[in-house]
Copies of this chain bind each other. A is one copy, B any other.
Amino acid sequence: MENDLLKKLGTRIREKRKTLGWTQEDLASTAQIDRSYIGSVERGERNLTFTVLCQICTALDCEVAELTVGILELPQ
């Protein structure tokens, strides 16, 4: 279950980055995070901390809530 969540989050970060027309390098430098770390986050390979998630969202100029809408798929 955990990997699914990290993969979903990583995919959403990638999609948001691409809507901005950014490379991983652009996101990495804006967020002041290592480029290879960004790559592993986007592949769902990193269980990033909340503050790193906030760093990435701030760089993408989007709220954490925007990236995580419905990510848990809780029963309605």
B-binding residues in A (CB < 8 A): 2, 5-6, 9, 47-51, 53-54, 57-58, 61-66, 68-72, 74
- Flag if B71 contacts A68 (CB, 8 Å): no
- Flag if B72 contacts A64 (CB, 8 Å): yes
| Interface class of chain A by DSSP | helix
Give every chain B residue within 8 A of A6 (Cβ-Cβ): 50-51
Partner of A74, one of B47, B48, B50, B63: B63
CB distance from A38 to the nearest CB of B (A): 15
- Flag if A65 contacts B58 (CB, 8 Å): no
CB distance from A5 to the nearest CB of B (A): 5
- Known contacts A50-B50, A51-B6: A70-B74 contact under CB 8 Å: no
